[in-house]
Structure 1
Amino acid sequence: MAKSTISIRIDENLKKETEATLENMGLNLTTAVTIFAKTLVKEQKFPFEITADPFYSAENQAYLKKAIAALESKQGETHELIND
């Protein structure tokens, strides 16, 4: 089977962390991408769920900004997990 090269741009630290994680699994980046591509083609969908993190929603960000402002002005309540 003929081989083809794919060139992608990715954050350098993310690449290093990904390679280290894959190495711990006994894989390399080429093998992981090949597994991904074969599964994508076979199943005709991403082999994992893609969802938005609700932490980054506009509603939550507005809430966090309001809570931070209240804490900074000493009007808010601290959380039990926050050490003063």
Structure 2
Amino acid sequence: MAKTANLYARIEPDVKAQAESILTSLGIPASNAINMFYKQIILQRGIPFDVKIPQHSVLDASKLTEEQMDAELEKGYVQMLNGEGESAKDAFSSIRKEYNL
């Protein structure tokens, strides 16, 4: 089928640059990626990925009261004593991976 319809969208320049960089490394033009996305919307009859607020939000320490901060630190200490959790190295590696840092 001939591609004759145009799509104009305004997106954040940084988002565009990052996405196009990834697409370029994959050898996929942005127009093909958008076409693939639209086809997936049709096949899935909706957005082809979860659109929801993550259950685990990042804790903003600057908004905690002193009592809340003490409680959070105590939780971490108890987890450490029980051998739970992960090393700081692994935790920061996971954060970097999750947030593409």
TM range (shorter): 0.5 to 0.7
SS in 2 for 1:32: helix
Q: Within 5 Å, give how 1:4-83 maps onto structure 2.
A: 4-54=5-55, 55=57, 65-66=63-64, 70=66, 76=70, 77=73, 81=88
Pairwise CA distance, 1:44? 0.5
- The higher-RCO structure (CA 8 Å, 6+ apart) is 1
TM superposition shift of 1:28: 1.6
Q: Structure 2: 5+ residue runs without aligned partners?
A: 78-87, 89-101
Aligned mates of 1:28, 1:53 — CA distance in 2: 30
Residues 44-63 of structure 1 deviation map (CA, whole Å, 9 limit, x = unaligned): 1211111213427xxx55x7
Aligned length: 72
TM-score, length basis structure 2: 0.55
Indicate the RMSD between aligned Cα atoms, in angstroms: 3.0
Task: Give the distance between the partners of 1:2 and 1:21, measured in 2 at CA.
Answer: 24
Structure 1 unaligned spans of 5+? none
**Structure 1 position 64, deviation (Å):** 5.3
Matched residues in 1 for 2:62 and 2:54: separation? 15
Shift of 1:2: 4.8
Q: Secondary structure at the match of 1:35?
A: helix
Report the alpha carbon displacement of residue 22 of structure 1 after superposing the two structures with TM: 0.7
Q: Given residue 63 of structure 2, which amino acid in structure 1 is its aligned partner?
A: K
- The change in CA–CA distance for 1:6 and 1:52 in structure 2 (over 3 A counts) is same
Structure 1 segments of 4+ aligned residues over 3 angstroms from their partners? none
